């Protein structure tokens, strides 16, 4: 069995690759996503199987525009409607240091655009969907299970810094993004949407608008 076949499989080397990939971000962000691309190269896995499918000619602006709109609208809906219904706090305690803090913006923007938009989508949609898709039998029920499993995993990794409200929000976002990815098999729009979602969150916090948005419909 070749190295590529062992990396694609679910034996000791395949499992080790999985663990190393998810441990990557402990060193720096977005190492996990970069390791996914390295794994794809070494395992002879086409990038298209990770969702990196180029839009048709002339469709890049549309892809970006849809991603931006989806990310902004989804964040506003989550903050103003969904999270209040889940009895979440009106402000995110983990990020209150960003209020009016211009000095913190460069690092935060890097984490949002590169770490979340590129990094998390590559890992949680591209890589996990590919791995679980190979592990489970093809079919609609398997796709639905993959969407749920990846959303739960996506939610849990947000617990250390955002607590239970962060987990709830991430699971819902993971279900939305995962469903879109399951239907399209394309990741570029979701990368833009993820970055736009987090950029909207940063803007709301930075300008001190969290409480106002959270109480827009519920006081």
Q: What is the pLDDT of residue 178?
A: 98
In a domain, 72, yes or no: yes
In a domain, 122, yes or no: yes
* Residues 30 and 114 placed together within one structural domain of the fold: no
* Residues 6 and 60 placed together within one structural domain of the fold: no
* Residues 63 and 10 placed together within one structural domain of the fold: no
In a domain, 34, yes or no: yes
* Residues 29 and 59 placed together within one structural domain of the fold: no
How many folded domains does the chain comprise?
Answer: 2
* Residues 78 and 7 placed together within one structural domain of the fold: no
Give the mean pLDDT per block of 10 residues along the chain (219 residues): 94 96 96 98 97 92 97 98 96 93 96 96 98 89 96 96 95 98 97 98 97 91
* Residues 65 and 22 placed together within one structural domain of the fold: no
Q: What is the pLDDT of residue 90?
A: 94
* Residues 41 and 77 placed together within one structural domain of the fold: no
Domain carrying residue 194: 55-214
In a domain, 50, yes or no: no
* Residues 139 and 190 placed together within one structural domain of the fold: yes
Q: What is the pLDDT of residue 101?
A: 96
Q: What is the pLDDT of residue 138?
A: 82
The alpha carbon of 41 is separated from its chain's Cα centroid by a whole number of angstroms, namely 22
The pTM assigned to this predicted structure is: 0.95
In a domain, 219, yes or no: no
For residue range 80-90, list pLDDT tens digits in order: 999 999 999 99
Distance CA 39, CA 18 (A): 9
For residues 197 and 72, is the Cβ–Cβ distance under 8 A?
A: yes
Sequence-distant (≥ 6) Cβ neighbours of residue 76 within 8 angstroms: 200, 213
* Residues 21 and 83 placed together within one structural domain of the fold: no
In a domain, 167, yes or no: yes
Distance CA 172, CA 152 (A): 9
Long-range contacts of 88-93 (CB under 8 A, 24+ apart): 88/165, 88/168, 88/169, 88/214, 89/165, 90/210, 90/211, 90/214, 90/215, 91/205, 91/210, 91/211, 91/214, 92/162, 92/165, 92/166, 92/201, 92/205, 92/210, 93/163
């Amino acid at each position: 069995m070749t190295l590529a076949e062992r990396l694609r499989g679910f034996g000791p080397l395949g499992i080790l690759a999985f663990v190393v990939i998810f441990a990557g971000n402990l060193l720096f962000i977005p190492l996990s996503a970069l390791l996914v691309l390295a794994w794809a190269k070494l395992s002879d896995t086409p990038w298209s199987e990770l969702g990196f499918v180029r839009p048709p000619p002339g469709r890049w602006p549309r892809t970006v525009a849809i991603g931006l709109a989806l990310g902004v609208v989804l964040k506003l809906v989550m903050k103003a409607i969904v999270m209040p219904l889940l009895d979440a706090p009106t402000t995110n305690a983990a990020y209150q240091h960003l209020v009016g803090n211009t000095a913190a913006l460069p690092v935060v923007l890097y984490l949002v655009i590169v770490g979340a938009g590129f990094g998390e989508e590559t890992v949680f949609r591209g890589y996990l969907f590919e791995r679980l898709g190979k592990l489970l039998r093809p079919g609609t029920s398997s796709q639905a299970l993959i969407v749920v499993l990846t959303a739960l995993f996506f939610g849990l990794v947000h617990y250390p810094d955002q607590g239970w409200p962060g987990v709830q929000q991430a699971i819902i976002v993971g279900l939305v993004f995962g469903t879109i990815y399951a239907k399209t098999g394309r990741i570029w729009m979701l990368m833009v949407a993820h970055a736009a979602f987090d950029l909207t969150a940063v803007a709301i916090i930075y300008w001190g608008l969290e409480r106002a948005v959270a109480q827009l419909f519920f006081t």
